[in-house]
Amino acid sequence: MESLESLSPNQGLASNLKEAVLSLSQSQLSHQFRNTELLLQALTHSSFFNERYSNKKNEVRADNERLEFLGDAVIGLLVAQILMERFPKAAEGKLSRWRSSLVSRKTLAEIALALGMNDWLLLGRGERQTGGAVKTSILAGVFEAIVGALYLDAGMEKVSQFLRDSYNPWLISLTQLKDSEARKLFDMKTHLQEKTQELYRMVPSYQLLETWGPEHEKTFKVEIKIIGKHVAFGEGKSKKEAEQKAAQIALEILGF
């Protein structure tokens, strides 16, 4: 594959690079896109788009953020359906916790990495040089964008099968964990809340302290307090991820 670094900042996507990216991604997805531009858009991070297309008024291209938005909604719906089918006796609370874990950016990034999507990404030169291909937020975003593109190109049935196949190792792991282990592994906030309610008759409080970084790659810092006292900080690429990290650290500090 042609090196991304060999393209000048304002140069379009070279035909041989385009063909290589499409060939690799479509073979791994087991789907030949009718509209290959959808797939290219799904793989185009904003850093790549801004370097190469932002000043080209006649270029009908976009980064993957709109497809990411669509894919997020599709994943949420189908994961809920898959869980209901896979675990017909599970209570609503358990299903909600599992869905929250399975659609988290951490899990989506793990699946994307397992599928090799880090090799398909079209990243800007600076983002690639700073390890963008393995960043949780970017991997989760490209997974959501690809799901959005699949949905538009082939419909819900194709996406459903893709997600069932992609999630299978994670779904199998749910059946092998005891309920208490699953809560602790998949939802740190819920596990911590249950413990603090049991011991202190209070729930933890979370406060967003600061954010930094460019708009597409922000970092969030959250503080967690229990009974009004500081317990831990957590950082993540979303407020939710930072809260989960803070809860995880708090659980370790408190020995839960």
Indicate which CATH number applies to the domain containing 13.
1.10.1520.10
Boundary of a domain, candidates 119, 149, 178: 178
pTM attached to this predicted model:
0.66
In a 13 Å sphere around the CA of 151, the CA atoms on its Cβ side amount to: 21
Q: How confident is the model at residue 1 (pLDDT cuts 50, 70, 90)?
A: very low
Same domain for 126 and 149, yes or no, is yes
Residues 181 and 187: their CA atoms lie apart, in Å, by 10
72 is catalytic: yes
pLDDT number for residue 4: 38
By percentage, how much of the chain surpasses pLDDT 90?
34
Q: What is the pLDDT of residue 104?
A: 85
> In this predicted structure, what is the pLDDT of residue 71?
97
Provide mean pLDDT across the span 127-149.
90
Distance CA 205, CA 190 (A): 12
Confidence of residue 140 (pLDDT cuts 50, 70, 90): very high
- Report which listed range, 47-51, 159-163, 180-184, is most confident: 159-163
> CA 11 to CA 148: how far, in whole Å?
27
| 183-190 own/partner pairs: CB under 8 Å, 24+ apart | 183/97, 184/251, 185/101, 186/97, 186/98, 186/100, 186/101, 186/102, 187/97, 187/100, 187/101, 187/244, 188/244, 188/245, 188/247, 188/248, 188/251, 189/243, 189/244, 189/247, 190/97
Are 4 and 128 within 8 A, CB to CB? yes
Whole-number Å distance between alpha carbons of 243 and 73: 22
| Cα–Cα distance for residue pair 13/206, rounded to 1 Å | 44
Q: What is the pLDDT of residue 254?
A: 79
Q: Is 144 a catalytic residue?
A: yes
- pLDDT higher than 50, residue 101: yes
Q: What is the pLDDT of the chain when averaged over all its residues?
A: 82
User: Same domain for 211 and 130?
Assistant: no
Query: Which range marks the domain in which residue 238 is found?
Result: 187-254
Number of domains in the chain: 2
CATH no. for residue 193?
3.30.160.20
Whether 135 and 227 map to the same domain: the answer is no
pLDDT at 183: 52
User: pLDDT, tens digit, for every residue of 218-247?
Assistant: 889 999 998 889 999 999 888 888 888 888
158 shares its domain with 118: yes
User: Quick one: pLDDT band at residue 126, thresholds 50, 70, 90?
Assistant: confident
3-class state of residue 223 by DSSP: strand
Name the band, by pLDDT with cuts 50, 70 and 90, for residue 21. confident
Q: Are residues 146 and 70 in the same domain?
A: yes
Contact 29, 150 (CB under 8 A): yes
Whether residues 151 and 217 share a domain: the answer is: no
Q: State which of 116, 147, 178 marks the end of a domain.
A: 178
What DSSP state is assigned to residue 3? -
Please tell me which residue in 51, 63, 68, 72 is annotated as part of the active site: 72
Catalytic one of 63, 127, 144, 223 = 144
* Residue 53 confidence (pLDDT): 65
Enumerate the H helices of the chain as residue ranges.
15-29, 36-43, 46-52, 65-86, 92-102, 105-114, 125-129, 136-154, 156-175, 179-186, 188-200, 239-254
pLDDT at 153 over 70: yes
The residues facing 226 across adjacent strands are: 229
Answer yes or no: do 41 and 151 share one domain.
Answer: yes
State the Cα–Cα distance between residues 41 and 36, nearest whole angstrom. 9
pLDDT at residue 34 above 80?
Answer: yes
> Are 152 and 70 within one domain?
yes
Tell whether 174 and 192 lie within a shared domain.
no
With b for 16 or more beta-carbon neighbours within 10 A and e for fewer, the 75-98 pattern comes to beebbbebbeebeeebeeebbebb
Q: Are residues 106 and 167 in the same domain?
A: yes
pLDDT tens digits along 173-224: 776 665 555 555 556 787 788 888 888 888 899 999 999 988 777 889 999 9
Query: Does position 10 have pLDDT exceeding 50, yes or no?
Result: no
Answer yes or no: do 214 and 165 share one domain.
no
DSSP 104: S
What local confidence, expressed as pLDDT, does residue 145 receive? 96
Q: Mind listing the pLDDT tens digit for each residue in 50-80?
A: 777 655 554 446 889 999 999 999 999 999 9
Clarify whether residues 150 and 233 are in a common domain.
Answer: no
- Residues counted in the chain: 256
Q: Which of 131, 151, 178 is the last residue of a domain?
A: 178
For the chain, what percent of residues have pLDDT higher than 70? 84
Quick one: CA dihedral 121, 38, 45, 233, positive or negative?
Answer: negative
The four Cα atoms 248, 250, 252, 256 give a dihedral, to 10 degrees, of -100
Whether the pLDDT of residue 103 is over 60: the answer is yes
